[in-house]
Amino acid sequence: MKILFAFNQDLNPYVAVLIRGLEAAGCPVDTGTEKFWAAGPFEPDIVHIQWPETLFDWRVPSAIEVEFLRRRLKEVHARAKIVYTRHNEVSHHANEGNAAILKELYSLVESECDVMVHLGEASRRECAARPELAGKRHVVIPIPVYDELYAPYLGMDGAEARRRLGLPPDRSIVLAFGNFRYEKEKRLVAGAVSGLRGRRVCLVAPKWHKAREYSFSPWHPMLALRSARKAVWAWGRGMKLGAKKTMFDEEVALHFAAADVVFIQRLDELNSGNVPMGFLFGKVVAGPDGGNIGEWLRETGNPVFDAKDPDSVRTALEKALELSSGDQGKKNRDFAMANWTTRKIGEELARLYRSICE
């Protein structure tokens, strides 16, 4: 059984962790988009596609490239089974100019796959009910909890993590991790934290600013002034807002270890890797009540909110802060280690591959 991940190296650790879990399950995987597109005999028995854009190395394809992909998928289908993991409903890169072509790309991959892997039951239910996808095989295999990747840091002391990050020791730390893709995500988080009454809270968002928007370079004095004003505004409101583009594993772990609550700043996303990350480090997680995110949080007793209702968001954050002083964080970690370990997810995916090849 030969497996090909049509995927090249990426900053997101999901695929690397998944491959590690598959190798532990005795199911080695080959990777690369060149091997997917290469002419000549096609050897893999299974091709696994993650995000459709990765087939073009995260480029937005042209209409003719999508047509080439349509033909290539049919050629591949004549020799191998195609598995597709549904990470999101629509591309994160979609805008007014490219939304149509990206929608066509996603629809093409969905229509040509044999099996759709969903990261949660909410996604599976939605797609299985769609007439054009009802004939596919739908399975749920959650995001691995990154336990092996962050194993060296799991015993990290929260007070020491705060000291190393320069965070106040006497405030509750709310971590909003990951890129802020839209201004409305910033408004969501800032509004929730600002709306808290009688709590000493520090919002930590290491990727709040895009790097090019946040600089103290003396060669650009107006940009430096604007950045200084942003920094003063954030400091006065108990916020530590950064402009990180990439972070080392230890730096990521420090942020999660230091937090009391992990806040998922997405408004209408299907999934978020920050849920399993928060669980791994034993933190309470608050997030939107939608997609797989809402389902994971409700199932495990974590607060959810209606992203369109500021009062609901603030109430969920207050509840999360209350729960952080109890055993909810430990329950989250226990749940993750029972259900979402790298080894367990690797074994589930390996079983799926073997069943396809039988």
pLDDT for position 214 = 45
Contact 141, 344 (CB under 8 A): no
pLDDT for position 237 = 53
Least confident of 87-96, 218-227, 324-333: 218-227
Cα atoms in the 13 Å half-sphere on the side-chain side of 12: 17
The total domain count for the chain is 2
pTM of the model: 0.90
277, 346: one domain: no
299, 287: one domain: yes
Beta-carbon count within 10 A of 341 CB: 18
Question: CATH code at 315?
Answer: 3.40.50.2000
More confident residue, 42 or 333: 333
pLDDT in tens, 163-187: 999 999 999 999 999 888 888 999 9
| pLDDT band for position 234 (cuts 50, 70, 90) | low
pLDDT in tens, 74-118: 999 999 999 999 999 988 888 878 899 999 999 999 999 999 999
Distance CA 105, CA 115 (A): 17
Strand stretches in 146-255, DSSP E: 172-175, 201-205, 239-241
104, 214: one domain: no
Contact 265, 278 (CB under 8 A): no
* 289 belongs to a structural domain: yes
The H or E element that residue 333 is part of is helix 328-339
Helix 99-112 vs helix 63-77: crossing angle, to nearest 10: 10
Give residues with Cβ within 8 angstroms of 61, minimum separation 6.
53, 69, 101, 105
Percent of the chain with pLDDT over 70: 91
| pLDDT band for position 218 (cuts 50, 70, 90) | low
353, 299: one domain: no
Strand partners, 173: 202
Least confident of 187-196, 292-301, 334-343: 187-196
Cα atoms in the 13 Å half-sphere on the side-chain side of 134: 4
pLDDT, averaged across the chain: 90
pLDDT in tens, 260-318: 999 999 988 899 999 999 999 999 999 999 999 999 999 999 999 999 999 999 999 99
* 16 belongs to a structural domain: yes
39, 140: one domain: yes
Phi/psi of residue 132, nearest 5 degrees:
-75, -15
| pLDDT band for position 228 (cuts 50, 70, 90) | very low
Residue ranges making up the domain that contains 94: 3-144+341-357
* 46 belongs to a structural domain: yes
Percent of the chain with pLDDT over 90: 75
50, 139: one domain: yes
285: burial class by Cβ within 10 Å (0-12, 13-18, 19+)? buried
Largest CA distance in the chain: 67
State yes or no: pLDDT of 235 exceeds 70. Answer: no
91, 180: one domain: no
pLDDT in tens, 14-34: 999 999 999 999 999 999 999
> DSSP secondary structure string, 123-182?
HHHHHHTSTTTTTSEEEE-PPP--TTTTGGGTT--HHHHHHHHT--TTSEEEE--S---S
137, 56: one domain: yes
Distance CA 264, CA 196 (A): 17
204, 322: one domain: yes
Give residues with Cβ within 8 angstroms of 183, minimum separation 6.
none
State yes or no: pLDDT of 217 exceeds 70. Answer: no
| pLDDT band for position 10 (cuts 50, 70, 90) | confident
Contact 339, 320 (CB under 8 A): no
Residue 127: what residue type? C
325, 257: one domain: yes
132, 163: one domain: no
Mean pLDDT of 121-142: 96
* 149 belongs to a structural domain: no
Alpha carbon distances (Å) from 301 to 133, 286, 287, 315: 32, 10, 12, 15
178, 102: one domain: no
